[in-house]
Structure 1
Amino acid sequence: MNKKESIFNAGRKLFLSKGFKNTNVSDITKLAGLGVGTFYNYYSSKEELFFEEFIEESNKHKKYIMEHIDLDQDPVKVAMNLISENVSAMKSNQILAEWNNHELTAELEKYYSEENKKNGDTFYNFYIGILKKWKREGKIRSDIDDDIIVELFGILEYVDTHKEKIGIYHFPEAARYLAEFIMKGLTDCPK
């Protein structure tokens, strides 16, 4: 294992067990069996390492969802399951939970957005594919342009990246209701 990989693995272990705030560079390098100076040969800060860790955890979680979600269920149920899976992951995974850390939110969201632009957001493409599939199958309204349907779900992403204005405490429930209202509007009205 190379030094960067050792740092990454040690950081992951500590961020998962202690969270971002309670982990410091010396803890990471000690667990990795390296000197603190070596850390800075690979990462400019604890934040940079954490952001890479976050992207990896997020991608693992998204892959899990894409492989395990039952797309044959009612579209409203699928959407609610997606939201529930995300909320559950944020409660059970210290790294993903930091998405709601007001001290990191702005920087983390910016990094996340830049990474998705650079590497493509496979999860976004996944749910766009689901929406198009449902439209072809007549499960959602056909009188609404695909781009508008995509933008309706873009609103959820907008809400997610403005959670501090909503209040982090209220955000998960507000996002759940908004997803439910959008899906019911797409499925309960005449198609």
Structure 2
Amino acid sequence: MKDTRTNLFDCGKELFERNGFKDTNVSDITKSAKIGTGTFYNYYSSKEELFMAIYMEENEKLKRTILKTIDLNQEPQSLIKELMLLNFEGMKSNPILKEWYNKDVSDKIEQYFREQKGMEGLDFMYGDFIKIIEKWQKEGKMRSDIDSGMIMAIFTAIVTVETHKEEIGLQHFPQVLEYLTEFTMKGLLVGGTHSND
């Protein structure tokens, strides 16, 4: 027999996957979990809090999968391109993580991270990736005049630009993303278009 928190989590996940964040409400979740609405609030303060717990778990699963499948010793340009591609594919194919591309939901996710976790928690593999960047900086492969945290913020900006693809123009967006990644890497890598003087 599942405990109530696990039951709410599982029922919430199933409904969010099927109906999306916007079209799932607390009463749907409690009905599915076969508990009273009041009991829900003993475990989660809101639908948003439950969704974020589910989102974080799915995000961690994606991160672990990416780290298992990728060769972290390849050259920076190839590794970054592969990481970003795997992250985008993973997010688009997961109904929970795909909600990131829904502007209303992404605003709530960003607000949650600012209040609860700090923005570094938002990046799909912050802790592991910042170590790789610091290693590249020590090896002289990546500019060391830019703080590793700032480099992470630049990559986070590239990842989050997808939430603005309509404003950028859907017909241009895939190419824009490729160019942004390419130009960013050229600017960050030692021996790219910018030297590390």
TM range (shorter): 0.7 to 0.9
Conserved 8 A contact 2:142-2:190: yes
Query: Percent of aligned pairs with the same residue?
Result: 42
Residues 41-190 of structure 1 aligned to structure 2 (within 5 Å): 41-117=42-118, 123-138=125-140, 140-141=141-142, 144-147=144-147, 149-158=148-157, 160=159, 167=166, 169=170, 174-185=176-187, 186-189=189-192
Report the aligned-residue RMSD.
3.0
Instruction: Give the Å deviation of 1:85.
Output: 1.3
Task: Report the CA distance shift for 1:135/1:30 in structure 2 as closer, same or farther (over 3 A).
Answer: same
Task: Report the CA distance shift for 1:91/1:115 in structure 2 as closer, same or farther (over 3 A).
Answer: same
d(CA) in 2 for partners of 1:157 and 1:34? Answer: 39
Give the TM-score taking structure 2 as reference length.
Answer: 0.78
d(CA) in 1 for partners of 2:96 and 2:173? Answer: 18
Aligned partner of residue 98 in structure 1, secondary structure = helix
Worse-matched range after superposition: 167-176 or 40-49: 167-176
Conserved 8 A contact 1:29-1:36: yes
Instruction: Give the Å deviation of 1:178.
Output: 2.2
Give the TM-score taking structure 1 as reference length.
Answer: 0.80
Instruction: Give the Å deviation of 1:122.
Output: 8.7
d(CA) in 1 for partners of 2:162 and 2:58? Answer: 20
d(CA) in 2 for partners of 1:27 and 1:4? Answer: 15
Letter in 2 for 1:157: T
How many equivalent pairs are there? 188
Instruction: Give the Å deviation of 1:175.
Output: 4.3
d(CA) in 1 for partners of 2:152 and 2:39? Answer: 43
Task: Report the CA distance shift for 1:85/1:163 in structure 2 as closer, same or farther (over 3 A).
Answer: closer
| Stretches of structure 1 lacking an aligned partner (at least 5 in a row) | none
| Stretches of structure 2 lacking an aligned partner (at least 5 in a row) | none
Task: Report the CA distance shift for 1:178/1:150 in structure 2 as closer, same or farther (over 3 A).
Answer: farther
